[in-house]
Structure 1
């Protein structure tokens, strides 16, 4: 049995969660919390396998509760949230603090027909993830220390870096924030990102605004046909449910079938960049479940690109980076902040910082 703690202050919503979860013989609700303080205490006492977490809670918000849980009793957390803009930003903050995934609350329309089934599927998926004590969960009475890592020598490409491409999935919001924050303001190389977001379109669309606010960089969703030469200093995200790729000096969007059950797919972007940029590209594969991006990163490395994968210790889910390491696709394996430092060094060494 997968033991679930439900955290929700609305009695109506708690009833729906409880009844939906009761319909799956693999799931058992072991407790219900109505505020953040109670959630933290019940996780500590009951040690559930999964927590479903509302964001807008009394006494302590869902975000604060997530930070406490991930700092003290790391547990897979599924955020169950509405698409209200304030709640959306809290949801992404919770994902950056270590929550694993998000499911939109019922909308009150035809899309609700299979909501209970989607909830149970998300809970089962989340239960399989081995979470870590999250480095961003820094509380007033707690400090998180990291040992300095030894320097890594990275060959400087013959020409300036033309593009940085990044893939991430589960745990990605936090890793992307750390990566982009670590780049200096003078870093001008375009950054193209595929982030798997399983949530509905309102959640996904708000991600660009949230990431821009977190990092201070110009972040937007890609549009089809934009010349890559116009992207200096910008961060582009693959739009919801569209592949992004580079071809003939242009950004292209595609409705082609999913790869590894993903659209957008990291492999689609990486595989397009390999022949387009060769050794002038840099590829980065961050935390995530599955293997999307590993083969594409290998193709990039074979064409001379500098390639990175996130290390296991800093990953929420060591899936995609692990596959890249096993294939020999990642020349360098390190946490996002160190990857950012190396990217800055590459740009500085080749003169592309302003």
Structure 2
């Protein structure tokens, strides 16, 4: 992984400093200074930062600060940042997105994946010997090529490919479920990801195709360049526009587009990743009656994304990739038992 740029934070409000520090850390940036104007001006050696973030209650009270910054650094200085709202709210996540946009205008794309590192982790997972569990006798195996009634969205970013591979490897073949996989990734890495992640697996990645309907056993990979949705007939369709937001595919938009057709039969698992993609749409899925799960932070390469979703209060299960797979099997088993009981009662 390449070294992340250093950021200096100056604010006369302690709470704002803490929230800016938490947000910049979520985007993988190092904070080389965080303090009020008087502390910076008394600092014995001026900190070396690639960017300065300054938010003050009244800029007129700190005119000397501006001269001090201009005299001591050639790095960009962003003044007049919006006050950070309460964390966990939709307003807060939108504020984080606006901050990310400003940071990337100055520093370049922050969530650019280290493709070689992710590939190395993937190959390590593939090389580990593991036998998938057998399908429970309580679960009726899905017929080949049958359309999926229930779809789970797998959302991931940095550290995600290895976690998703581990999750899929711990599922038995024949589960009556389809997956849609939204992975922040360099488009040039897509072919390698598809080949390596699908190796020795019961669940094979496939590229999204115009008019295709998600089938049981599918793991449909959302393309990076343009937005895709599902039409009224349940068919995948490409939109003539890029994904909204800074990264493709937008996990928030994938959640909304898939849930628009499947409703409460659309569920989501958010794996390792940087930033907060998914945190705005996940509560809307919960309102549909869908399940929203996240990878627990200790098993993540970067836990910012699942932690952000968990902070909304909409998640009902947290676990390692292996535990998430076990919970999915148990959930499908319980649904099959419930359907069987309902059939007997109606007979």
- Given that residues 179 and 219 in structure 2 are in contact (C-alpha distance below 8 angstroms), is that contact kept between their aligned partners in structure 1? yes
Aligned to 2:199, the other structure's residue is in SS state: helix
Distance 1:188 1:138, change over 3 A: closer
- Given that residues 288 and 317 in structure 1 are in contact (C-alpha distance below 8 angstroms), is that contact kept between their aligned partners in structure 2? yes
2:201 aligned partner = 215
- Given that residues 119 and 193 in structure 2 are in contact (C-alpha distance below 8 angstroms), is that contact kept between their aligned partners in structure 1? no
Q: What's the CA shift for 1:293? A: 1.2
Aligned to 2:229, the other structure's residue is in SS state: strand
Provide runs of 4+ in structure 1 moved above 4 Å: 78-81, 136-139
1:94 to 120, 127, 130: 120
1:304 aligned partner = 289
> Which runs of 5 or more structure 1 residues have no equivalent in the other structure?
5-24, 28-77, 82-90, 99-135, 140-159
Q: Deviations over 1:226-250 (max 9, x none)?
A: 134xx12211101232333323111
1:184 aligned partner = 172
Distance 1:348 1:170, change over 3 A: same
Q: 1:30-69 counterparts in 2 under 5 A?
A: none
**Range that drifts further, 189-198 or 275-284:** 275-284
Q: 1:93-242 counterparts in 2 under 5 A?
A: 93-96=119-122, 162-198=150-186, 200-201=187-188, 203-228=189-214, 231-242=215-226
Q: Deviations over 1:238-282 (max 9, x none)?
A: 123233332311112334333330121111110123332222222
Between the aligned partners of 1:334 and 1:161, the Cα distance in structure 2 is 25
Between the aligned partners of 1:307 and 1:190, the Cα distance in structure 2 is 16
- Given that residues 229 and 258 in structure 2 are in contact (C-alpha distance below 8 angstroms), is that contact kept between their aligned partners in structure 1? yes
Between the aligned partners of 1:26 and 1:213, the Cα distance in structure 2 is 43
Cα RMSD over matched residues? Answer: 3.1
1:13 aligned partner = none
Aligned to 2:211, the other structure's residue is in SS state: coil
Distance 1:163 1:137, change over 3 A: closer
- Given that residues 92 and 210 in structure 1 are in contact (C-alpha distance below 8 angstroms), is that contact kept between their aligned partners in structure 2? no
Q: What's the CA shift for 1:289? A: 0.6
- Given that residues 273 and 303 in structure 2 are in contact (C-alpha distance below 8 angstroms), is that contact kept between their aligned partners in structure 1? yes
Distance 1:225 1:324, change over 3 A: same
TM-score relative to the length of structure 2: 0.54
Aligned to 1:252, the other structure's residue is in SS state: strand
Q: Aligned residues, how many?
A: 211
1:48 aligned partner = none
TM-score relative to the length of structure 1: 0.53
Q: What's the CA shift for 1:97? A: 7.0
Q: Deviations over 1:20-50 (max 9, x none)?
A: xxxxx989xxxxxxxxxxxxxxxxxxxxxxx
> Which runs of 5 or more structure 2 residues have no equivalent in the other structure?
5-47, 51-112, 129-147, 338-347
Between the aligned partners of 1:302 and 1:79, the Cα distance in structure 2 is 35
